[in-house]
Amino acid sequence: MLLIEVDSSVKWRRTINMLSHKNFRSSVLSLPLQWRLGRLRRALQDAFSEDTAAAGFPRTTPSAGHCAAVSAVTHFYLGGGFASAYVDGQSHWFNRFRIGPISIDADLTGDQFGRPEIQAEEAGRLYPGTRPRSPEELNDETLVRAATLARRARLEHVYRRIQSELDARRAPMSVQSAG
């Protein structure tokens, strides 16, 4: 499993060195993507708050209750898809990226389960019972929380993309109610 510690440059360097090891076939996670995930997590770290967390999650870490919103921000920032699994009895969302012939699951909120902040592994190996999810499965409340996170993290282009998605979802309802 690839583990990325964002707060420790020593572990970060160790992780980068691991990626060049022959067992990772040039990398499980490309270095540019690895760098961007670390940068995104650092930007979001200070934006986490009670109003951006999903209700009902114990506030054990700043990222607790933020998995779906963070996966939405990550999707609008880097592309890729969504995946989810039950972790410690809770539904947990994260992202899936295609790198060449390999699909990678990446989780930027693993610390809420006592794991490293950022984890990545070949698709389906990060958590048992992982299944792909579609963007349409994100509810509007999650997207609103994601937009708030993006704005607080000063990711304006991501904020605008999420707002556009929310506007597009609301547009059909407006047309129907006008008729």
- Assigned domain for 177 exists: no
Could you give the number of structural domains in the chain?
Answer: 1
Residue 69 has pLDDT above 70, yes or no: yes
Q: What is the pLDDT of residue 173?
A: 60
Render the burial of 98-128: b for 16+ CB within 10 Å, e for the rest: ebeeebbbbbbbbbbbebbbbbbbebbebbe
Position 7 pLDDT exceeds 70: no
In a domain, 64, yes or no: yes
The whole domain housing 7 covers 2-170
Spatial distance between the Cα atoms of 75 and 136, rounded to a whole number of angstroms: 13
In this prediction, residues 52-57 reach a mean pLDDT of 92
pLDDT at 179: 52
Is 123 inside a domain boundary?
yes
Whether residue 93 lies inside any domain: the answer is yes
Q: Fill in the amino acid letter for 153.
A: A
Position 81 pLDDT exceeds 90:
yes
Please check whether residue 157 lies inside any domain of the structure: yes
**178 found inside a domain:** no
Q: Is the pTM of this model over 0.75?
A: yes
Over 60: is that where the pLDDT of 20 sits? no
Q: Which pLDDT score, from 0 to 100, does residue 148 have? A: 98
Residue 176 vs residue 148, higher pLDDT: 148
